[in-house]
Amino acid sequence: MATEEKILIDRIAAGDRIKRGDALSVGYRGELLRLMVIFADSELAGAAGFADVINRGPGLKERMIAARIVSEKFHHAETVLELLKDFGVNPALYVNSHSWSARLDRDVDLGSRRVGGDKRLNVFHYPLEGWTDGVSMNMLMGAATTVQIGELQHCSYEPLANCMASIVKREAEHAELGERGLRAAVERQGSALPAQASVGYWYPRVAATFGRIDSERVDLYRKYGLRQHSNAELLQTWETEIAARLARLGLTAPK
């Protein structure tokens, strides 16, 4: 193991936080960049997709809430892109480097298979179909994001941990707003069938964002102090939370 790598890993094992300007090993730098880019790309793509649903809201209040969520997601992306400037990223150029609103056909199922282009999570390659679909996805993915970045607020890279500590609170609010919106949609429609159909579509696609259960990358993340829990543990946390949210709405997770 290279001396630079060993020194860094020993620091992390001792509980030390890596600060802005500290020397990074090639391996640590690569994995840290990967996590930040995936997050920034997912927030940009998620905001762009949900923006198309704003005017599908049943009233002004709902549209204002949706617009607020979109704005906050763009802000989350901006916050992480500011960190990426230390790694040679130009945020202004980066934001215009991909079509964040681009979507695949609704019937495509990527699973955990990656596609080319930006590094968004696969769930953000699928299109939303109307308001009920949008709030359903927002509840499911908001809860998943809260679990996933909850890990990063304790990561070894101090600048990322600090910004995630504030972002995770807003993502938790997004999940709560999604649940409220879905409840209102069920009441307004007088039937749970459209909401249940939407949950049936999005549930497995959101579950896939936790990655492969047997992923070897988790061990690397743990060594670098970037993650603490396995994909299976994070998925179980999400499934438990979503089961409770769905039960409150009279809905169920697909088998």
What digits encode the pLDDT tens for the residues 153-169?
A: 999 999 999 999 999 99
pTM of the model: 0.94
Residue linked to tokens 């001396």: 3
pLDDT for res 160: 97
The residues pairing with 18 across neighbouring beta strands, listed in sequence order, are 157
Dihedral (CA of 180, 154, 84, 30) sign: negative
- Between CA 164 and CA 181 the distance in angstroms is 25
Domain boundaries along the sequence of the chain? 25-106+118-249
Percentage of residues in the chain with pLDDT exceeding 70?
99
Instruction: Kindly report, residue by residue over 230-240, the tens digit of the pLDDT.
Output: 999 999 999 99
CATH classification of 25-106+118-249 is 1.20.1260.10, yes or no?
Answer: yes
pLDDT for res 1: 58
With a cut of 80, say whether residue 214 has pLDDT above it: no
With a cut of 90, say whether residue 106 has pLDDT above it: yes
pLDDT band with cut points at 50, 70 and 90 for residue 213: confident
The runs of H, that is alpha helices, within 52-126 are 60-84, 91-95
pLDDT for res 50: 96
